[in-house]
Amino acid sequence: MNSRLKKVLLGGAAALFLIGASLVQNSLNRDRDTLELTRVEPLENAPPVLAFTTVALGGFRGLISNILWIRAMELQDNDKFFEMAQLSDWITKLEPHYVQVWLVQAWNMAYNISVKFTDYSDRWRWVKRGIELLRDEGLRYNKNELLIYRELAWLFQHKMGANLDDANMLYKQEWANEMAGVFGKLSTPNLDELIHPVTEDQRARAALLRDKYKMDPAFMKEVNQRYGPLEWRLPEAHAIYWAALGLRIAADKPSKVKPDDLIVLRRVIYQDMQLSFQRGRLVANPFAKRFEFGPNLDIIPKTNDAYEQAAEEDKANHDHILRAYRNFLRDAVYFLYEYNRISDAQRWYRYMAQKFPTDHVIDGDLNSTVGNVSLDDYALSRIQEDISGTPRDRIEGVIEGLIANSYRSLAVDGEEEHAYGFKLLAKKVWESYSSRIGKSRESAISLRPFDDIDREIRSRVLDPKEGAAPEIRAILRSRLGLPSESAAAPGPAESAGTNAPAAGATPTAVPR
Amino acid sequence: MQPLLAIALLTWKAAFRFRLFLVMAVLLLLSVVGLPLLIKDDGTARGFTQILLTYTLGTISALLGLSTLWLSCGTLARDIEECQMQMVVVKPIARWQVWLGKWLGIVSLNAALLGLAGACVFALLQWRATHLPADQQAVLRNEVLVARGAARERNFDQDIEARTNESFRDWKEKHRASTKDEQTEVRKAIHEQVKATYQIVLPGYQSRPWEIQLGLARHYLHGQPLFLRVKFNTADENDTSTYQGAFRVGVAKKTRLSQFTVQSMAPNAFHEFQLPPDLFDEDGVLTITFANPNETALLFPLDEGVEVLYREGGFALNFIRGLGIILCWMALLATVGLASASFLSFPVAAFFALGLLTMVLSSGTMASAVEQGTVAGYNPEKGTSGSSVVDVVAIPTFRAALKVIHMAEDYSPIDSLSSGRSITWSQLAMAFVQIVLILSGGIGLFGIVIFTRREMATAQGIS
């Protein structure tokens, strides 16, 4: 066989093999996709360098990623964090579709690295970096991965929202400041103006929301309608947003979703709604020049729905959820009572009786079913419980409620003693809690000074715009020895939350 | 000397002829200018400067290192293969002069390139620093763009050893029938117990003082802030809690006092605090007392638990000394390359030299094998190792290799520069002695002897 013929034959064979391989490749790709062995679809939205790297390096990407990971761990062991952002970026970019890589790197930055710093602002930088890694990069390349939505929601809920980190208050404050740049200082943002911005300022804020925080105002509005009203300056609202977005993505691709992932996302939602109920109201404290938290009583019905839905869907945890649901209802009734929304409290108390007719409502008293205990007796027993041991946010809610009741009583003729009693009880709760927490947790979970809370409630009550009715304000000013409103200079009181009953609901409307 | 310089000059000319100098210069400049645009820092000026220093100096070292190996293998091996060397060696010049001249040429070329790249990095850092806000500049000048010396508590090894021996003698008296293995284990346990008494600070506001001698530095530290660097552990290695700490620096009625409380410190991490000036006594002793208000005992390691950092000099000289150590590494690589090319053809020499470099870079594996006493068969749960025939040869070889490697590896100027630690003249001198004189000298001598005895007239690798 001469050389030319040999070349032609070999060339032909090569062409045949290539065609055959391309045919088999399609079938192989289909199998890879069906069996979920590896990723088939190309990397979307990737910059050219990354697209080139992922294709050119092939299987070696994992090897390089491992080497970088080892270096990252070594540096972390030696407390050298300045390279961590770069290494995380490379590691995740080398394995952009490997979800666990994103989750671990984000977790590492937000949890492990952040606490290594003594300065709280340094910690906040790393918590933010963890969030940004998932939100800005992880979701960019894996927009259908529910675990990333879940992890992002968890960082908001647990790292920023919970009080396990001593710097949690700074995280919340910093986040509230950032969000105030988008929504202004209103507790309820005007989402319509961000969906259809008209002015230059609205356009700039809408762009900030979309480009920096990767949030869609139209979907925020949807979330607000379904689960809210939410306080968007607080982390819980954002946890709900990302979990809800994950659920929406899951709804678009039901065949690719694991039921457990859905359950986890729904759990985030009802847990955060519960947290929003307990402390989902942000109140500017003009005395301490910072934000404080109060309960958001307006989302009780929707939180109730979320619990019912979760209990229905999550059969494996049905009993746990029901227990949490019952506790939520008990809290709801008690908080409503504290804020003098007595008729609402009565309604929910009856609802609790329907749902849990045989459960006792007073700890340690097995006969205390809803049918056997009046609302007043239940509320009093809860105050006793609160004094003996509860988390900071609920305690502060209790104290606020008691002080509010004290001013309400003060405004009513013959109730001065009762007012004094409420104030005394509030002070006792404050003292009891303050003596209970150890020195080491003081910075993380201590209450603000009692006088600050008192001043804030009083300013809310006396606020001409959103406070108590004018005649009640006048009585209170007189009994508190304050000058009349016309004589008083404009005070520092700012807009309060929305937990008051509707104006004119009762002649002894609660002073807030 | 003249023949030596002539060969060095020829090596430079060859490098220019191959455009190596130009290519390297462009690559180095690109790495200095391009890297700052690509790297992601931690968001602080300090972090950016640290990562910039680490990555630019790391890239420069890697680029120069590889090209040095390549050039040193090529310049000798190819000269021999292409029969140019035969023309040189018949001239009135000794072979060792040829060899040394090439080495000198490569090292001086490296020095020029390193100087050029180093000057660019330095200028870039200074330029960036001047564009930062005043507070950030202060952080940089105090913590990164500085040469900081460190002082620690005196070494307690002898005291610990003495107390361990005493307790162990008592134990042995009471347990005369104990086996050798038991004795080894018990002695180890006693040693750890004694050591712990020097490190531990018990809970409930118990305190522990550290007396740190600043030495001669006390003469120029008046009026200057010091930096306290602490690190502690707890019983739980994976502890994610944070702890409070109450510090008092100085001695009442003897020196100025400074007291502060830190609310939230993570274990297993370094924490740095700036101290006011002039807290040490006339003898230069700085007393630091830590009180533990937590409910857990905290353990401050003796080697890095409490350290005082102080300004020892400026960044510029420190940077130059750092580059000096990098140049020592390059000199060693040039020696390895030339020595390989003295008896091997170009591709084999390059492969051999790169193989050696890989072995050095993977010294961690060797170190763990030596620590475990085996190359295989280690049981991490029991902490025991099996015996293998390979171990008999491999472990002593690894041990010897590690000793040699550590002579060069113990100096890490990039790490020191990025963390603002001082590289002293004595460290530079030691690096020169160990890396250039001893290591390069030994390998170079071997290369020169081989090259001198090599028969040039035989056919050189031509098939």
Number of domains in chain A: 2
**Tens-of-pLDDT digits for all 512 residues of chain A?**
678 889 999 999 999 999 888 888 878 877 876 766 666 555 555 556 566 666 677 777 778 888 888 888 888 777 777 777 778 888 888 777 788 888 888 988 898 888 888 888 888 988 999 999 999 988 888 888 888 999 999 999 999 888 888 888 889 888 888 888 888 766 567 888 888 888 888 888 888 889 999 999 899 988 888 887 888 888 989 999 999 999 888 888 777 777 778 888 888 888 888 888 888 877 665 545 566 677 788 888 888 888 888 888 777 778 888 888 888 888 888 888 777 677 888 888 888 888 887 777 777 776 777 777 777 777 777 776 766 656 777 788 878 888 888 887 787 665 566 677 678 778 877 877 777 776 666 666 778 888 888 888 888 888 887 777 788 888 888 888 888 776 655 444 433 344 443 333 332 332 32
Which residue from A minimizes the CA distance to B292?
A: A440
Question: Which residues of B fall within a CB distance of 8 Å from A112?
Answer: 240
A123 close to A165: Cβ distance less than 8 angstroms: yes
For residue A491, is it within any domain? Answer: yes
Mean pLDDT value across residues B401-415: 80
Q: Which residues does A195 contact at the CB level (< 8 Å), separation at least 6? A: A206, A217, A218, A221
pTM above 0.80? no
Residues A269 and A409 in one domain: no
For residue A293, is it within any domain? Answer: no
Give the minimum alpha-carbon distance from B116 to chain A in angstroms, rounded to a whole number: 25
Residue B43 C-alpha from the chain's centroid: 26
Give the residue among B153, B84, B112 at the shortest CA–CA distance from B16. B112
The answer to which of A55-69, A210-224, B395-409, B441-455 has the lowest mean pLDDT is A55-69
Third-level CATH fold of B152-313 = Jelly Rolls (2.60.120)
Q: What are the structural domain ranges in chain B?
A: 2-144+315-453, 152-313
Q: Does A437 touch chain B (CB under 8 A)?
A: no
Structure tokens at B281: 């006594």
Q: Does A214 touch chain B (CB under 8 A)?
A: no
Give the minimum alpha-carbon distance from B140 to chain A in angstroms, rounded to a whole number: 14
The answer to which of A176-180, B15-19, B77-81, B157-161 has the lowest mean pLDDT is B15-19
How many residues belong to chain A?
Answer: 512
* Record: contact A85-B271, CB cut-off 8 A: no
Mean pLDDT value across residues B4-23: 82
Give the residue among B234, B236, B158, B246 at the shortest CA–CA distance from B209. B246
For residue A219, is it within any domain? Answer: yes
Out of A231, A266, A282, a domain closes at A282
Residues A258 and A404 in one domain: no
Question: Which residues of A fall within a CB distance of 8 Å from B43?
Answer: 85, 125, 129
Per-residue model confidence (pLDDT) at position A193? 84
Query: For B186-233, what is each residue's pLDDT tens digit?
Result: 888 899 899 988 899 988 888 889 999 988 888 888 888 899 999 998
B151 close to B185: Cβ distance less than 8 angstroms: no
Question: Which residues of B fall within a CB distance of 8 Å from A439?
Answer: 244, 293
Q: How far are the Cα atoms of B64, B80, B82, B112, B354 from residue B67, in angstroms, in the given order?
A: 5, 20, 21, 14, 11
Could you count the other beta carbons within 10 Å of the beta carbon of residue A186?
11
Q: Which residues does A271 contact at the CB level (< 8 Å), separation at least 6? A: A157
Could you count the other beta carbons within 10 Å of the beta carbon of residue B463?
3
For residue A333, is it within any domain? Answer: no
Give the minimum alpha-carbon distance from B174 to chain A in angstroms, rounded to a whole number: 42
Question: Which residues of A fall within a CB distance of 8 Å from B204?
Answer: none
* Record: contact A115-B40, CB cut-off 8 A: no
Out of A259, A282, A305, a domain closes at A282
Question: Which residues of A fall within a CB distance of 8 Å from B231?
Answer: 79
Question: Which residues of A fall within a CB distance of 8 Å from B39?
Answer: 86
Q: Does A80 touch chain B (CB under 8 A)?
A: yes
A208: containing domain: 48-282
Per-residue model confidence (pLDDT) at position A507? 29
A469 close to A477: Cβ distance less than 8 angstroms: no
* Record: contact A440-B295, CB cut-off 8 A: yes
Give the minimum alpha-carbon distance from A101 to chain B in angstroms, rounded to a whole number: 18
Residues A104 and A235 in one domain: yes
Per-residue model confidence (pLDDT) at position B382? 58
Q: Does A66 touch chain B (CB under 8 A)?
A: no
CB pairs under 8 A between A and B: 70
Reply yes or no on whether the pLDDT at B327 is more than 60.
yes
Residue of A82, A105, A113 to mutate for B, most B C-beta atoms under 10 A? A82
Q: Does A98 touch chain B (CB under 8 A)?
A: no
Which residue from B minimizes the CA distance to A166?
A: B264
Per-residue model confidence (pLDDT) at position A386? 63
Q: How far apart are CA B47 and CA B40, in angstroms?
A: 10
Structure tokens at B39: 């790297």
Q: Does A439 touch chain B (CB under 8 A)?
A: yes
Percent of chain B with pLDDT over 90: 22
Phi, psi of A32 (to 5 degrees): -60, -40
Which residue from A minimizes the CA distance to B232?
A: A116
CB-nearest partner of B266 from A84, A89, A116: A116
Q: Tokens 């930096």 identify what position?
A: B227
Burial class (CB in 10 A: 0-12, 13-18, 19+), A468: buried
Q: How far apart are CA B454 and CA A414, in angstroms?
A: 116
Out of A241, A267, A282, a domain closes at A282
Reply yes or no on whether the pLDDT at B333 is more than 80.
yes
Q: Tokens 């040095």 identify what position?
A: B68
Structure tokens at A111: 């949890």
H runs (alpha helix) in A79-145: 84-94, 99-107, 120-132, 139-141
Q: Tokens 């979309």 identify what position?
A: A210
Mean pLDDT value across residues B27-40: 78
SS3 B227: strand
Question: Whole-angstrom distance between the N-terminal and C-terminal Cα of chain B?
Answer: 38
Mean pLDDT, chain B, rounded, equals 85
User: What DSSP line would sit under B324-343, residue for residue?
Assistant: HHHHHHHHHHHHHHHHHHHH
Query: For B235-271, what is each residue's pLDDT tens digit?
Result: 776 677 888 889 999 888 888 888 888 888 888 888 8
Q: Tokens 């001469």 identify what position?
A: A2
CB-nearest partner of B294 from A83, A166, A440: A440
Per-residue model confidence (pLDDT) at position B103? 94
